[in-house]
């Protein structure tokens, strides 16, 4: 996590290092919940005669996830830089707003749409099937967008509220996997949303809680 630290004077090298580290962290957190989709797509390629073409299609499909996850680190990087200039008193209320906003998203219809696509790989393939390796890239990108759409609010909580501390990374990774893979995942998402709203209200009422939430990066 030391590679995730930022400085007040950004450089291209700093941004590239941050995006690379963010991509690795996102892959570690989210790849387990994306594996059923990637595995199902790989199974559909078993009839492709050329082994090279089969491997290229599967790698291309999986690479769309990694590319999108890494690219999402760039706005996070600049947002983090901006927050470093915010006074602690104001940061506490920003943290409260992020927690409440993320909680409301967790119970929103948009969250449920994205979550349904993540929880039903077969349904996604049947509804979005495209043949060939180009079709695989198109499908991979579409599903990666649903995957990111499902979890972006939790990622913002990780950065703003948790300051990317290891306990928050583990907690959010468990929530992401649970709501996508376990039975009743929709209700896990809603319960998480309610908990986030309650925590945000608590921080707004007692701003000192923000300091406790923002654990030092491990």
Q: Residue 34: pLDDT above 90?
A: no
- Assess if residue 35 is contained within a domain: yes
Is the residue at 18 inside a domain? yes
pLDDT for position 1? 42
Report pTM. 0.81
Q: Give percent helix, percent strand, percent coil of the chain, each to the nearest 5.
A: 80, 0, 20
The predicted structure's pLDDT at residue 163: 63
In a domain, 218, yes or no: no
pLDDT tens column, 192-213: 999 999 999 999 998 888 777 7
| Nearest-angstrom CA–CA distance, 134 and 1 | 35
Evaluate whether 122 touches 144 at the Cβ level (below 8 Å): no
- 45 falls within a domain: yes
List Cβ neighbours of 59 (8 Å cut-off, separation of 6 or more): none
Residue 101 lies in a domain: yes
What pLDDT score was predicted for residue 8? 55
| 135 found inside a domain | yes
CA distances from 106 to 26, 137, 194, 196, 214 (A): 19, 28, 8, 9, 21
Residue 1 falls inside a structural domain:
no
Residues 6 or more apart whose Cβ sits within 8 Å of residue 179 = 115, 150, 185, 186, 188, 189, 192
Query: 189 pLDDT exceeds 90?
Result: yes
Q: What is the pLDDT of residues 96-138, one digit of tens each?
A: 999 999 999 999 999 999 999 989 888 888 888 888 788 889 9
Residues 140-160 pLDDT 10s:
999 999 998 998 999 888 888
Q: What is the pLDDT of residues 74-99, one digit of tens each?
A: 888 888 787 777 777 788 888 899 99
Q: Which residue has the tokens 């690479």?
A: 63
Q: pLDDT digit string (tens) for 2-13?
A: 444 444 567 788
DSSP 130: -
The pLDDT > 70 percentage for the chain reads 92
How many domains would you assign to the chain?
1
Quick one: 162 exposed, middle or buried, by C-beta within 10 A (0-12, 13-18, 19+)? buried
- Residue 216: pLDDT band by 50, 70, 90 thresholds? very low
Could you list the residue range(s) of the whole structural domain that residue 19 is in?
7-213
Of residues 168 and 4, more confidence is placed in 168
Whether 2 is in a domain gets the answer: no
């Amino acid at each position: 996590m030391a590679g995730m630290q930022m400085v007040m004077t950004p450089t291209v090298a700093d941004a590239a290092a941050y995006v690379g580290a963010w991509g690795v962290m996102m892959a570690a957190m989210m790849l387990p919940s994306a594996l059923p989709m990637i595995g199902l797509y790989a199974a559909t390629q078993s009839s492709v005669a050329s082994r090279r073409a089969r491997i290229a299609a599967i790698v291309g499909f999986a690479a769309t996830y990694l590319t999108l996850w890494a690219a999402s680190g760039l706005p996070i990087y600049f947002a983090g830089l901006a927050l470093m200039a915010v006074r602690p008193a104001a940061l506490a209320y920003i943290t409260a707003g992020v927690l409440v906003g993320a909680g409301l998203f967790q119970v929103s219809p948009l969250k449920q749409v994205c979550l349904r696509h993540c929880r039903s790989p077969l349904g996604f393939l049947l509804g979005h099937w495209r043949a060939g390796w180009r079709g695989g890239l198109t499908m991979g990108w579409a599903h990666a967008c649903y995957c990111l759409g499902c979890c972006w609010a939790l990622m913002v909580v990780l950065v703003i509220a948790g300051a990317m501390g290891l306990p928050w990374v583990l907690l959010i990774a468990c929530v992401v996997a649970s709501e996508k893979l376990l039975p009743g995942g929709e209700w896990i998402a809603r319960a998480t949303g309610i908990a986030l709203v309650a925590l945000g209200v608590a921080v707004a009422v007692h701003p000192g809680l923000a300091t406790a939430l923002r654990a030092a990066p491990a």
